[in-house]
Amino acid sequence: MLITNGKLIDGLGNKPILSDLVIVGDEIKFIGKTKFTEQDFNNRIGRHIDAQGQFISPGFIDLHSHGNPLVTPEFENFLAMGVTTITLGQDGDSPKVDQLSRWLSQVEKRGVAINLAMFIGHGTLRELAGINQAAVPTKQALNNMLQQLDDTLKYTFGLSTGLEYNPGLYAQQEELIALAKIVGKNNRVLMSHMRNEDSGQLIKSINELLIQGQFCKVHISHIKSVYGKGAAEADAILKILQDANNNGINITADIYPYNASYAGISLLFPVWAKTTKQFEYAMQHRREELATFLRNKIIKRNGNGSNLVWNRSLHRKNLRGVSIGIQHSF
């Protein structure tokens, strides 16, 4: 395959250059100016793409992705955006199976259209080890979790935590440090959806991760300041990361290429009403308080018209549209 006249971005940070590209099989064989005869086009070149006015680049790596390769192994959504490598098992949540290696073999056997960098989820590990919503795991359960992590890290890229989600939110510093030590021992990375991304809480969350960063490489998933205003705060955050790096902590971050986030609706709920059990208790004993909390939170997030709901039965409705439907029961 021959691609001609494109502006080539090599992915190494260099300026784009005008170049051709020759691909044989699944390998790039030549980068530079090509000279082919009419005969070559007839005999040797299977496909010619004229990339005049367009860019040629390596496939993008999506550092925070979700999906199930057993359901959609084609991953057309990613390929359509030029993404050729995704990271799964994010936000503390990976497939809940006894052995991730067996799940990965299934994926491989079935075939998957893009490269997959797999992470093991901390929330999932907590469930597998029977810790669930306990704040402090028993010594035995903790060791069980650490052992499972140690085994799984041999063939995965790292650990993900989702400290804003159930059950990750129950984890305390001692547990997180124990996990980080295992990640460091295996020279892997710990990616974190941090405990709280709100402006005002963000630095505290970063500091929590930086402590783990003393033991392993750490990465902030989708860094942002929820409700944050102005560039000064962003500059301050970037400075914290730069300072940490200067002090020998290996910390990185990724950002969304868009303005809104996408998550489960539990994100709106207070920590004391996250699980079904807690929610039911709160509805009985703290109903008014819960309603006020939710109302304020939604107002803070730009109101019920700004929160789009995504599930099959409430297809593309925002919270305002949904609440009109269920007002009689709430």
Which x/- pattern over 181-200 shows residues binding Zn ion (rule: CB under 5 A)? Answer: ------------x-------
Half-sphere exposure of 15 (CA within 13 A, CB side): 2
Number of residue whose CB is nearest Zn ion:
193
Preceding peptide of 95 cis, ω within 30°: no
46, 67 in Cβ contact below 8 A?
A: no
Q: What's the min distance (Å) between Cβ of 123 and Zn ion?
A: 11
Crossing angle (nearest 10°) for helices 202-212 and 231-246: 10
Nearer CB in complex with Zn ion: 89/213: 89
| Listed ranges 91-99, 109-117, 124-132, 145-153: which one lies at the site for Zn ion (CB under 5 A) | 91-99
The interface region with Zn ion, picked from 9-17, 51-59, 84-92, 293-301 by CB under 5 A, is: 84-92
Among 20, 91, 175, 208, binds Zn ion (CB under 5 A): 91
Interatomic CA distance for residues 219 and 209, integer angstroms: 8
CA nearest to 184, candidates 223, 215, 225: 215
Which of these ranges, 4-12, 87-95, 208-216, 317-325, lies near Zn ion under the rule CB under 5 A? 87-95
By CB under 5 A, tell whether 122 contacts Zn ion: no
Q: Which is nearer to Zn ion, 69 or 121 (CB)?
A: 121
Q: Closest separation between CB of residue 67 and Zn ion, Å?
A: 14
Q: How many residues line the site for Zn ion (CB under 5 A)?
A: 2
**Residues in region 44-63 near Zn ion by CB under 5 A:** none
Q: Which is nearer to Zn ion, 220 or 244 (CB)?
A: 220
Rounded distance, CA 28 to CA 41, Å?
18
Largest CA distance in the chain: 82
DSSP per-residue string spanning 46-70: S-EEE-TTSEE-PPEEESS----TT
| Footprint of Zn ion (CB under 5 A) | 91, 193
